[in-house]
Structure 1
Amino acid sequence: MLPDFPDAAFPAAPYPGVVPDRSFVHVDGGGLALTPDPSARSSWRVSGPGPGTDLDTWLAGRGAPPLAARVPLLTYGSNRNPAKIGWLRRELGLAGPVVVLRGRTTGLAAVWAHGLRVVDDQRPAVLAAAPGQVEEHSVWFATPEQVGVLDVCEGRSSGRYRLARVHTGEVRTEDGTLLDDVLAYVGLAGIRRPLLVDGEPVRCADLPQTAARVLRGERAPSDGLDATTVTGAPDPDAWPARLFVYGTLQPGERSWHLLAEAAAGPAEPVTVPGTLLDTGLGYPAMLRDAGPGVPGHVVPLRDPAALLPRLDRFEGPDYVRVRITTPDGRPCWTYVWTAPTCGFRSVPRWGHASPGVAGPRP
């Protein structure tokens, strides 16, 4: 499949480069457009004939990890530029498809840093708190290996930037998902603190590189961010810290004990897009499609990275764990059915009143 656009259509110079006005998945040489679709297993489709291909299916066809094995990473500088991604492939060995989703930030801004880059004397961007400010940026859904390449590019080990979970402001992707505690590279070295001109930071959106590189001002004492530094490689299982359950794992059902001690708070009733099926085996199956909706509960989790591998074994090979989004924008883990559905029937809900709960789970 040929890219929808080549890297050359989005030059990287001057920094931070030209950015597509769409979500895309980058392959060697260019990008394919992505569109949100809550009926798709991954919630996204790759451009193509008809409605396009589910993104997870497309990734699997290339031997690449699905979205569930990737971490969201806010990119507000050049890393959202296709030509820069191509450079990362050529120079630093970046491998595999790169998923780049459009994102809108509130309360955050890309601002010009105090110091210049050694390689080309251009002024880089840094992230800073900006109450009330709304900007358009992008979010990589990166594999841990891809994060390792970005670590080298951003100088994580040399102290230029630190990788952190940002608690300030709000980040939402194009499909409305709220990325709470999103990862981002934030300035660490003194020259990577915001530049203050007349006592105020200068937004990258307000001044181009040609004017920014000759600015004169003072170094800000801090970026104003509430951000927790991440040590080591980020674990995809650690985010989000919520699980949507719709069958025997719900409160009051026979498997709730597997979740009860891991819950960080009360379960909340919610309905998500999809279809609920009675397997006839004493437990239900959820399909990601344009069905009438699946009622269940969102359970906040204390330590999802510790719990989820145990639940993966409990659910077995007929289910796959994916991230979905509730109607109010909260991302959650859940399990969707992947095996054949011959003989199953649609049911409005699952619980004590459901006709299919009599049989034991094998």
Structure 2
Amino acid sequence: TQTRRHSRLLALLGVRRIVAGSARPGDTVRILPSGVSATIDRIVALDGDLEEAGTGQSVTLTLVPDVDVSRGNLIAAATAPPEVADQFEADLVWMSERPLLPGRSYWLKLGAETVGARISDLKHKVNIDTGELLAAPTLTLNDIGLCTLALDAPVAFEPYTVNRDLGGFILIDRMTKETAGAGMIRFALRRAANIHPQALTVSRSDRAALKRQSPLVLWFTGLSGAGKSTIANRVEQRLLAEGFHSVMLDGDNVRHGLNRDLGFTDADRVENIRRVAEVARLMTDAGLIVLVSFISPFREERRMARERMEAGEFVEVFIDVPLDVAEARDLKGLYAKARAGQLSHFTGIDSPYEVPEAPDLRIDAAGCSVDEAAERIIALVHAAQAAGRSG
């Protein structure tokens, strides 16, 4: 019935307020960001049908045809719809005591739409006393900066100077759920406007079937000196002996090539893991079992890596040792240099390691041998392969 459809639309639209302009039955509208067109059949308010509704009114629209309108979608006049984009230049005010980390994924809330977003480039921050533009690797509480935003999906928007409702946004910390920042969109960046996904005939399933295995990422995390690479290397030896196709990504090795331009600041560590997660994802598309051995100190980036993979294809392996044990194993003398102040941003000394709260597997590397640790991980691989075959 019409009433039932009204209720469904109310639930889906979430925000039912007209933020700009007016609407009449018979108007052609466009649903954004999908771009689907429809015609307004009725405009319904609490006291009945309306012949016209304008800015600030809360109404329900019935559309012909009955197109799909999801929560967060925008209904706009077909003749002059807002822009749709997934990259912006924006002014940003930082409101969190946790510093901004370029490359980290945040939630961006714009109108009724919420999407994943990251700061891909922090151009500068503003000295609020002098107006001077300063180079800055991060923003801290109450800092103001100019940045480039990259979103996980396109959104409908207008520049803040044109429409505050469709140009103002907040950033939300995905771990703490606190409002981390507030921003104003200047304009869209058209860097990927003409780039579209290429359809491929050979699928990831085809590649996995050729190898007779299910893709999987084994993500080894832990302190420097915990034994991540040693255990991962032994696991890969076992996988090779059993006929599996695998590849190992080691933190030190990757920093000699793909990530040689990155340092060890928190922001660089975030970008380090983002790049490696993307590489691991590509390798699962090739049907491989990928062993990733990185300190990966932050929970948020490990969560991001998990979300980049298909469901059931990510296993977090926490190689757990006390700091004093890791330090005693350090043949390179890195801990000693860090304690002497000769090496900055060293995990466990002057840079934090956030212990996994619920790893898929925890290895007490101080209480078991490398072979015992590898055996436990191989058992987990076998279980994942069995689940993949049954699925």
TM-score, L = length of structure 1: 0.26
Larger Rg: 2
Q: Which has the higher helix share?
A: 2
